[in-house]
Amino acid sequence: MEKAGKEQIAEWKAMYGDVYLISVDGKEAYLKQPSRKIIGYASVAGKNNPIKFNEVILNDCWLGGDEEIKTNDTLFLSVSSQLAELIQIKEAELVKL
């Protein structure tokens, strides 16, 4: 796949918010953040098979890129270590009133 141009990235940002690029061995994948629903589904799917969690997140967040990242075990496992970064957790504060 060709690299996504500025126009394509701007279009994705308008549709999905933040867009991320993961690259490994010259291959690239463009991803969006997962929804709460997908994180829940991935968590259930990953209970008995931890790799399934990463498969669900990668497939749902996929915007474009080299399909080989999804099918080549070495590339998939390499990007898997970065997928948790897509799940952004902000610090919350609890105050007793």
Residues 63-82 have a mean pLDDT of 94
Contact assessment for residue 12 and residue 63, using Cβ atoms and an 8 Å cutoff: yes
Q: Which amino acid is at 44?
A: V
Cβ-proximal residues to 46 (8 Å cutoff; 6+ apart), any chain = 52, 53, 54, 56
Q: Which amino acid is at 30?
A: Y
12: pLDDT confidence band, cut at 50, 70 and 90?
very high
Provide the mean pLDDT of the chain: 91
Residues 4-21 have a mean pLDDT of 93
61: pLDDT confidence band, cut at 50, 70 and 90?
very high
Within a 13 Å sphere around the CA of 39, how many CA atoms are in the beta-carbon half? 12
pLDDT of residue 41 exceeding 70, the answer is yes
